[in-house]
Amino acid sequence: MNIEKRLKEISERKVEIRGLLESNQDIDLNAIKTELETLEQEERSLREKKQIMDSIAAGTIEGRKIDKPDIEVRDRDNFDKMSFNDLVSQKEYRTAFLKKLQSKPLDETEQRAMSAMNRILEQRALTTGIPSAGAAIPTQTLNMIVEKLRQITALFPLVTQLNVPGGLSIPRQNAINDASWHAEGTDITAVDDTVNSVSLFGYELVRLVQLSRTVEAMAIDAFETFIVNQLSERMSAAIENAIINGAGSAAAQPTGILTGVNWGTNAMTYATTGLTYKDLTKALGLLPIRYRQFAKVVMNSNMLYNEVMDIMDNYGRPIFYQNPNDDMDMRLFGKPIVLDEYVPDNTIIICQPSYYYWNFSQQAMIEKSYESSFKQNLIDYKGTLVADGKPVLDEAFVKVTQATA
């Protein structure tokens, strides 16, 4: 990389941004802010590198040769020989993908990477009968989307996440029996766990984002961060709601905890007069011991602050704890509280969330269109995730609800 040339480009881009801010054009301030932060970070890094290089040239720092890792020593002309997973992880494909979303020209290497991906997707369409919906999201970009979803959701980071293409069938044990002691020489009596299966398919989660055309002028890294933030923030609500309340296949969506668990002895109600200390201890007792170590108490803010927070134990001590140094570190009977606004009022779920399975069954896609927002001079970006989710072990969940009058 020519550091001096790149520093000059950054400086020129800052001047362009200043001109945009001083003009009367309709610009996206969030996009501009994100780009400026990225440019500042890149400029600092380049100046540090330049300082080290200058010191080596002056003899004040001894330079040493660092062998490149084997992964970098590869034939750049072999995109056509790469598998899908290898190709989406290549930096050339990532740059090509993001440039196409910005309508920027691709260099020769990027064109070959994109052509190789198009051939893979065309072959998949021929063999599966499923048409391709556009270029696949690069691994780095997809990881950024998933990580962003983890940061801004409550339950999604705690459930078991899979990336298995197509449908998935998971054995489900409705009850787990313990091992038993055996007297030598006597017959062993088989005790079968109650087992059936849970099938995860794929339902489309689609989000359309309209953005100013100024995003086409952003640096690649800044654009990637911006588009990831825009799509993730809008998809997070739908995913979180689906994990709690999803109506399942009839509504072409995942199955939620409240709708998918077979509630029997693992559900209880409390009186219309209000929740009590005894109600909560009884509810915790319904959760088998094997699930309590990693159990979470899930409720919405209204339930916490109006029903739970002031409850005392039999000795007048509060059962609710909040870390004075971390507002989000809240506990009930020592169990972490997860605030989720998609849990209905007057409802508490005590569970080990890892027994809810979420599977991304197809590679995520991002597409763009100029046509639908032509009059507004905007660009439509459409993000599509194909996923399904279900609770897989009923006894790992306990539900507490208020009795109806």
> Does 152 map to a domain?
yes
143: how many CB neighbours lie within 10 A of its CB?
Answer: 13
Q: Within this chain, do residues 351 and 381 fall inside the same structural domain, yes or no?
A: yes
Domain that holds residue 24: 3-58
Q: Within this chain, do residues 46 and 77 fall inside the same structural domain, yes or no?
A: no
Strand 160-162 versus strand 356-369 pairing type? parallel
Q: Within this chain, do residues 165 and 82 fall inside the same structural domain, yes or no?
A: no
Q: Within this chain, do residues 43 and 167 fall inside the same structural domain, yes or no?
A: no
Q: Within this chain, do residues 97 and 239 fall inside the same structural domain, yes or no?
A: no
**Nearest in space to 221 (alpha carbons), one of 18, 379, 13, 382:** 13
The domain tally of the chain equals 3
Q: Within this chain, do residues 9 and 35 fall inside the same structural domain, yes or no?
A: yes
Per-residue pLDDT of the chain (405 residues; tens, 9 = 90+): 578 877 888 888 888 877 777 776 777 776 777 778 788 878 888 887 777 777 776 665 555 555 555 444 445 558 888 888 888 889 999 999 999 888 899 999 999 999 988 888 777 666 554 544 456 788 888 888 888 888 889 999 999 998 888 777 776 655 556 666 767 777 766 555 555 677 888 898 888 888 888 888 888 888 888 888 888 888 899 999 999 999 998 999 999 999 999 999 999 999 999 999 999 999 999 999 999 999 999 999 999 999 999 999 888 889 999 888 888 899 999 999 999 999 999 999 999 999 999 998 877 788 888 887 777 778 888 888 899 999 999 999 999 999 986
> Does 64 map to a domain?
no
Q: Domain ends where: 128, 148, 165?
A: 128
Q: Within this chain, do residues 226 and 117 fall inside the same structural domain, yes or no?
A: no
**What gap in Å lies between CA 84 and CA 165, rounded to an integer?**
13
Q: Is the pTM of this model over 0.75?
A: no
Q: Within this chain, do residues 336 and 218 fall inside the same structural domain, yes or no?
A: yes
Residue 265 sits in a domain whose CATH number is 3.90.1690
Q: Within this chain, do residues 331 and 258 fall inside the same structural domain, yes or no?
A: yes
Q: Within this chain, do residues 100 and 224 fall inside the same structural domain, yes or no?
A: no
Which residue bears the tokens 């009059």? 375
196 token code pair: 């059936």
**What gap in Å lies between CA 56 and CA 243, rounded to an integer?**
55
> Does 306 map to a domain?
yes
**What gap in Å lies between CA 343 and CA 349, rounded to an integer?**
8
Q: Within this chain, do residues 144 and 122 fall inside the same structural domain, yes or no?
A: no
> Does 186 map to a domain?
no
Q: Within this chain, do residues 167 and 288 fall inside the same structural domain, yes or no?
A: yes
> Does 185 map to a domain?
no
349 token code pair: 């779920």
> Does 65 map to a domain?
no
